[in-house]
Amino acid sequence: MKKNTLKKAMALALAGMMALSVAACGQPSDTEPLEAASNPVEEETDEAITLTIWNTEVTTPGIQDNDVARVIEEKLGIKMDIVQGDSQKFSVLVAGGDLPDIIYTNPAQQGVEANALITSGQLIAMDDLIDQYGENIKKNFPSRLDYSKKYVSNGEDKTYFIPVLCYTVDEENPDISYTIENVGLMTRWDVYAAIGYPEIQTTDDYLDVLKQMQDYARENDLAEGKEIYAISGWNDWGLWPWWLANVREMGWQDLSNGAIINKATEEVDLNYHTDAFWESLKFYNKAYNLGILDPEAFTMKNDQFWDKCNNGQVLMAYASWQTDNMNKTMASNGHPEWGFEKIPFSGYPYISGIVSGDAPLGNASDYATAITTNCKYPEKAMQLIDFCNSEEGARLLWSGVEGTHWELKDGKAQPTEGYQKLIKEDASYTTSTGITLYNKLCGFKETQILSDGSPANVLKSNEQKAQNILDIDKEYCEYYSEQRGGEFLYPGMVLNDMWQKGEVDTFTNYILYTSLVQAPSDETLNILAQCDQYMNVQGVKAIMAKNDAEFEAAREEAMTELNAMGFEKAREEILSLYEAAKVDASSFEIK
């Protein structure tokens, strides 16, 4: 494809700045970003056109040939060609001006901030396209567009990004998560049961129990000759495994640019400056010195971590989106008695997402959809995006094909018997059919109730959760039914009962202002990028400290080095932006 010389020059300048770190962004430019007209639309034919789409979750990149993709091709005349990769590949595509036609934002994965893609001339403003082809975008969660123009447009008041995964709470029928929702420490329940369900109160208790579990698993060769560690991790997401789940269970929520918020007090700070962050690293330092932290965790990739969990070699994971899949995989591999569950204890009093909370702006700028200036068919790209923001598109992306995977019964959408049977027999069945693979394009969260009264993902109704329970989940529910009385049909009901009785805590409050924060200066972004790069090494050094004194020395050394890089100056700017966002929130209207 012929490249605009200016755009390529801007892209190369951006790539040079990104070399500082996978989290860095490019230099701004006074040059206006290229509009859609810079790539004239080629004359369409009756044949399907092909759109390239960035997606890091599809394991089979290239032209998509599955049930969901075929419906999209038949309905819209669009073949989806998935481009998959890591931050290094994304930076190469940016540098060469070779981004796919449609992308989504994720600074942590891609190494570039949203505004940098605008200033480098990589994106088109979608306002005219939305006016002509975006009826569903305008109708469903319309506040997204106001947000995008004001806060994710580099001050241009144009729509470069469309937020996704929005949700409105159904007050009469709250969605109770199947286990937890999103991030939190999950533990191999079968091994915990085998050692007698020891009581856990503090984080030290939890580590001691994990040590007992590791000893038992090794003595009984549960991984069939493979080395077992209670805790493992991966290194291609930076320090992600070593702090995020822990700080959430202390009551903090991660934000952009290294900030976190205490959701009870609404206090914002940068993670490296908080005790919560360092207490998280200390947790893993203790695990390391107990001999229950896999030494390969600091060199492995994320997919290797998944493989070890599925093989029974790891006894703790970090999120329900990991363990929901792992439990099904282990069951389909002949181990229905294996599985991860949430074990509540007072040392970590907060549990993520016991019930779903409002998200009128979805994930805000994270995973927001954009069309690049490379797109020869921007009208078709917008038609695809608008379809994915419709109820029909949401049901297809989350639930599959009507008649094959779901059907209407008594006026409600429900999974077919054949679909329910196949997902129990084959843990990879949904992804092989395309179901849930393209969810980052969807305007609706999977639990959003659509106009037919069923969630976008028909497997996510409270009734279906109870019907599709795994053997390990039954054992979890039966244990707590005996301990607490009452009937629990799936694990989330146990946690909801604890929350209703004040025994654990969760957050349902939507804090608007954290989504209304303007982008920091390039100087601050570059400082934070260097700090992250440094901490990816220093954080591991702290975890591997031999004793408390060595750990504290590593912490002090870190803060000294961070401040020498300008961390405190960057922190002051970030906190001032959050204070300004509080003022903006008072006048921002959610429609």
Q: How many whole angstroms separate alpha carbon 217 and alpha carbon 468?
A: 28
**Model pLDDT for residues 557-589, shown as the tens digit of each residue:** 999 999 999 999 999 999 999 999 999 999 998
Per-residue buried b or exposed e for 92-131, using 16+ beta carbons within 10 Å of the residue's own CB: ebbbebbbbbbbbbbbebbbbbbbbbbbbbbbbbbbbbbe
Query: Tell me, what's the pLDDT at 19?
Result: 44
For residue 14, name the pLDDT band (cuts at 50, 70, 90): low
Asked if residue 309 lies in contact with residue 317, where contact means CB atoms within 8 angstroms, the answer is: yes
Model confidence at 39: pLDDT above 60: no
Taking residues 368-374, report their average pLDDT. 97
Model confidence at 182: pLDDT above 90: no
Full-model pTM: 0.84
**Model pLDDT for residues 512-558, shown as the tens digit of each residue:** 999 999 889 989 999 999 999 999 999 999 999 999 999 999 999 99
Query: Tell me, what's the pLDDT at 40?
Result: 38
Strands 78-83 and 62-63, how do they pair? antiparallel
Query: Tell me, what's the pLDDT at 467?
Result: 87
Whole-angstrom CA distances from 527 to 17, 22, 341, 516, 564 are 11, 13, 39, 22, 10
Whole-angstrom CA distances from 177 to 86, 112, 167, 180 are 30, 32, 14, 6
Which residues 6+ apart lie within 8 Å of 533 measured at CB? 20, 21, 23
CA angle 483, 484, 486 (to 5 degrees): 120
Strands 49-54 and 78-83, how do they pair? parallel
What are the structural domains, with CATH classification, of the chain?
49-167+361-462 (3.40.190.10), 183-352+469-583 (3.40.190.10)
Taking residues 436-447, report their average pLDDT. 95
